[in-house]
C-alpha cells in the first residue's frame, strides 16, 4: 500500500514537472517570436534616429513612424539642439532626407482630433507620416464596428484630403 502511494506521488511529480517544462518551452518560444517580430521595427527606428540626429541635429526623439504607400519611409519627430520641434522623413534607401519644421504642419494629436471630429472615426488603428507623391502626408488607418478598414491620407501642411479609401 505504501509502495503504491509512493509510485502515485512519483507519477504526479513527473506529470507536474512535465507540465512546467512544456509551459516554460511555450513561454520561451513566444518570447523568441516577439523579439524576432519586433526586430525590424526596432532596427529601423534606431537607424532612422541616427540619420535624424545627423541631418537635423535632433537631441530628443518623440515619435517614430513607419509609412508604406508607393515607397517606404521612416519618420522621426523631436527637438533639435535649439529646441525647435522638427520632423525628419527618411526614405528606406536613406537618401534624400526631408526635414520639416513641426510648426509648419499638423502633429499627430491634431490629426487624431481631425479624424475623430471631422470623419467621426473613433477606432484609430495606426497613424504614420511619410511622403506620398513627394508631399509630406499623414496616413491614418481606422477600423469600423464591422471590422472594415478605412485609410485616410491627409496633407501634413493643412490636413487636406489627399486620398480616402473606405471600408476595405
Rg (C-alpha) for the chain, rounded Å, is 24
Q: Is residue 86 part of a domain?
A: no
In a domain, 98, yes or no: no
Q: Which three cell numbers stand for residue 160?
A: 487636406
User: What pLDDT is recorded for position 28?
Assistant: 75
Instruction: Give percent of the chain above pLDDT 70.
Output: 94
Asked whether residue 87 is domain-assigned, the answer is: no
3-state secondary structure the chain: CHHHHHHHHHHHHHHHHHHHHHHHHHHHHHHHHHHHHHHHHHHHHHHHHHHHHHHHCEEEEEEEEEEECCCEEEEEEEEECCCCEEEEEEECCCCCCEEEEHHHCCCHHHHHHHHHHCCCCCCEEEEEEEEECCEEEEEEEEECCCCCEEEEEEECCCCCEEEEECCC
Whole-structure pTM value = 0.76
Strand 161-165 to strand 58-68: parallel, antiparallel, or no bridges (unpaired)? Answer: unpaired
pLDDT on residue 37: 61
Query: Whole-angstrom Cα distance, residue 69 to residue 132?
Result: 7
In a domain, residue 6? The reply is no
Asked whether residue 4 is assigned to any structural domain, the reply reads no
* Residue 133, domain CATH: 3.10.450.40
Chain segment 104-154, per-residue pLDDT in tens:
999 999 999 999 999 998 899 999 999 999 999 999 999 998 999 999 999
Output the pLDDT for position 103: 96
Is residue 77 a contact partner of residue 83, using CB atoms and an 8 Å limit? no
- Cα separation, 15 vs 3, in Å, equals 18
Query: pLDDT tens digits, residue range 114-126?
Result: 999 999 988 999 9
Average of per-residue pLDDT across 24-47: 75
Residue 32 confidence (pLDDT): 67
- The per-residue pLDDT for 6 is 75
| Count of structural domains within the chain | 1
**pLDDT-derived band at 40, boundaries 50, 70, 90:** confident
Range of the domain at 138: 108-165
Q: What pLDDT shows up at residue 10?
A: 81
Amino acid at each position: 500500500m505504501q509502495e503504491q502511494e509512493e509510485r502515485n506521488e512519483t507519477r504526479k511529480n513527473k506529470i507536474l514537472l512535465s507540465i512546467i517544462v512544456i509551459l516554460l518551452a511555450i513561454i520561451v518560444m513566444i518570447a523568441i517570436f516577439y523579439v524576432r517580430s519586433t526586430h525590424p521595427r526596432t532596427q529601423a527606428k534606431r537607424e532612422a534616429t541616427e540619420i535624424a540626429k545627423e541631418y537635423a541635429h535632433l537631441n530628443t526623439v518623440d515619435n517614430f513612424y513607419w509609412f508604406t504607400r508607393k515607397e517606404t519611409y521612416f519618420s522621426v519627430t523631436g527637438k533639435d539642439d535649439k529646441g525647435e520641434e522638427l520632423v525628419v522623413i527618411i526614405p528606406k534607401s536613406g537618401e534624400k532626407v526631408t526635414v520639416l519644421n513641426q510648426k509648419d504642419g499638423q502633429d499627430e494629436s491634431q490629426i487624431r482630433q481631425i479624424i475623430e471630429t471631422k470623419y467621426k472615426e473613433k477606432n484609430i488603428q495606426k497613424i504614420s507620416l511619410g511622403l506620398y507623391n513627394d508631399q509630406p502626408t499623414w496616413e491614418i488607418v481606422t477600423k469600423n464596428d464591422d471590422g472594415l478598414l478605412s485609410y485616410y491620407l491627409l496633407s501634413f501642411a493643412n490636413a487636406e484630403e489627399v486620398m480616402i479609401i473606405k471600408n476595405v
